[in-house]
A and B are shown apart, each in its own frame.
Chain A
Amino acid sequence: MRAEARKRPVAAGQAPTIGELLDRQGLLAYVLLLPGLLILILFIGYPFVTSLWLAVTDQSVSTSVARFIGLDNFTDELRSQIFLQTVRNTFVYTGVTVVFKLVLGIGLAVLMNQSFRLKNLARAALLLPWIVPTALSAIAWLWLFDATFSVFNWAIVHSGLADRGINWLGEGSWAMTSIIIANIWRGTPFFAITILAGLQTVERELLDAAAVDGASSWQRFWRITLPLVRPVLLIVLLFSTIWTISDFQLVYVLTRGGPANSTHLFGTLAYDVAVRAGQLSEGAAISLYMFPVLILCVVALLLYFRRSST
């Protein structure tokens, strides 16, 4: 044991010993990886295969033996008005919220990058929307958007802007606006705190030198700071896009996809179809429609990491 261990650092040139050592390390490696991989395979890999199988059958709560029906579930969805509406909803929801979160997040990060008193307290407080359980903060929004008791409506009516309040969650486009507002509120702190970490790595000297050369603060931000934090922006954007497309909690709590399916996303529609209506296969197919977008984001991230690590 002792002798083998001693060989390791000096054995670089001796082929057989290295092979032996690699074997040993290989075996140890797989033993150490086993518990984690077992859980990931059992509860991610296997369900993924199951989901592919489910999606090409007609399995529902009432069928005892599922039949293979090919891609019918997928093609049926393309003819379903509710599904097409869901695709549109997801695009609007993701597009609008990600743009707002990015712009507001950059703004908040720039603010927080200045030095002022109680900065740590401010940072902790501003993160709150992102770290508390979303299902619970969504309930606070449900109350804020209540048809009768909404405090926003109270403000609208009492300030004389309108005679009657807005039916926030009860009308299609207002309901979409409401979930977009709640999502931006929840997601902006994540953008801000991550971008802030990027800003803090931008060297002061670089900006000072540019200032000496006569660059305005706007030019310094646009030409120096922003290009330097671009990698961070890219990562935050990709993660947020994945999370927003696959969102569930906010919509489930605030609207359940309504009114008239105007706020359904892939996740909530799949839940409705599979869990509430019992059409398991159809639900699995709806979920799987998220997969191509997901793949694009994952490939982009992997390519990026590969490029940056070489």
Chain B
Amino acid sequence: MRTTGARRLVTLYLPLSLAAIVLLFPFYWMLITSLKTNRELIDLGGLPFWVFQPTLEHYQFLFGETGFMRWALNTLTISIAATAISLVCSILAGYTLARLRFRGAGAIAAAIFVTYLVPQTLLFLPLLEVVRQLGLSNTLWSMILTYPTILIPFGTWLLMGYFRSIPRELEESALIDGASRVRAMTQIVLPLAMPGILSAAIFSFTLSWNEFIYALVFTTSTDIKTIPVGVVTELVKGDVYFWGSMMAACLIASVPIAIIYNFFVARFVAGFTMGAIK
């Protein structure tokens, strides 16, 4: 008994604790920094791992003196709108590719998969041109309309797998009973696919919330920026006195994502590995 305890300590708890410390330390550091006074932040003599005079002044500065509230509102608006658009497109495309037989189905499925692998850095310059041509530069729409290109491919693949897992017979019996295909889809298939749809929604929302390069390139004015872009371009001035507020912003913007994500980790992994795990 005692040896298994010692063994578990060495093979499990010690390495796990080490991993936890390394992976979580930057978050602890964000929290600590956001609560320190500026005097404490630049004090090189004292122990840096603890706050001796906690203060909320950086949070007050962030909400009162910067555009943070505006950026948060923008990020929320864009994320919700882009998620809604992507969901509609992914549900329709996922259902079609899973259920309907038509010429070119395989090619379209492969093409959608390939677009999932196209990194944003490959296309951000020409996309900037397209956004300009459409007169969308420096608007929330530039992001609402382009984010779905990142979201639709994964959403479609995830939902395709989901729709396939729903027995075809359920739908066919409704068709035999005289229901139209649209009714069979909305009243039988969609409710059963709800967990998958929810996963696709969460995935889309978090990805929109985290997006950086498009938002950086498409926007110039402060009141259009998203949280990541706003914090990086407007609070990073090389001035030591902003560190507290920057860490506060990072923490606040990370918390909602961390909470939401926890509800869907397993499903994400399942969708991601797409059949590699049987």
Contacts and interface: CB of A to CB of B under 8 A. Distances in A.
Contacts of B88: 35
A139 B250 contact: yes
22 contacts: A5-B179, A6-B176, A36-B89, A44-B118, A47-B123, A47-B129, A47-B130, A51-B125, A54-B125, A111-B12, A133-B253, A133-B257, A135-B232, A136-B228, A137-B250, A139-B246, A143-B33, A143-B243, A185-B23, A197-B273, A234-B276, A252-B216
B253 A149 contact: no
B236 A142 contact: yes
A43 B130 CA distance: 8
A107 to B, nearest CB: 7
Among A54, A116, A132, residue most surrounded by chain B Cβ atoms (within 10 Å):
A132
A39 B26 contact: no
B210 A133 contact: yes
A284 B232 CA distance: 24
Nearest to A267: B121
Contacts of B16: 111-112, 116, 122
A290 B23 contact: no
Contact of B23 (A33, A39, A126, A270): A126
B59 interface: no
B232 A36 contact: no
Interface in A4-57: 5-6, 8-9, 22, 25-26, 28-30, 32-33, 35-37, 39-40, 42-44, 46-48, 50-51, 54
A125 interface: yes
A166 to B, nearest CB: 15
Interface in A213-242: 231-232, 234-235, 239, 242
B270 A197 contact: yes
State which size class the interface on B falls in. 35 or more
7 closest Cβ pairs, A-B complex? A246-B119, A267-B121, A36-B89, A135-B228, A50-B126, A26-B102, A51-B126
A189 B278 contact: no
A124 interface: yes
A194 B269 contact: yes
Interface stretch (A72-80, A81-89, A94-102, A302-310): A302-310
Contacts of A288: 122
Interface stretch (B60-68, B141-149, B193-201): B141-149
Interface residues of A, number: 103
B197 to A, nearest CB: 15
B103 interface: yes
Interface string B81-107: 000010011101101110011110100
Interface in B42-66: 42, 44, 48-49
A90 B113 CA distance: 25
Contacts of B96: 28-29, 32-33
A8 B254 contact: no
Interface string B144-168: 0110110011001000000000000
A43 to B, nearest CB: 5
Contacts of A8: 172, 175-176
Contacts of B118: 44, 48, 294
Given A36-B156, A135-B231, A144-B26, A246 B125 contact: no
B276 A39 contact: no
Interface in B112-144: 112-115, 117-130
Interface string B206-241: 100110110011000000000111011000100010
Contacts, number: 294
B108 interface: yes
Contact of A133 (B30, B95, B152, B212): B212
Interface of B: prevailing SS? helix
A235 B273 contact: yes
Contacts of B108: 33, 37
A89 to B, nearest CB: 14
Contacts of A266: 121
Nearest to A131: B261
B261 A149 contact: no
A302 B110 contact: yes
B277 A267 contact: no
B129 A54 contact: yes
Contact of A294 (B13, B122, B156, B278): B122
A140 interface: yes
Given A43-B146, A126-B20, A135 B93 contact: no
B6 interface: no
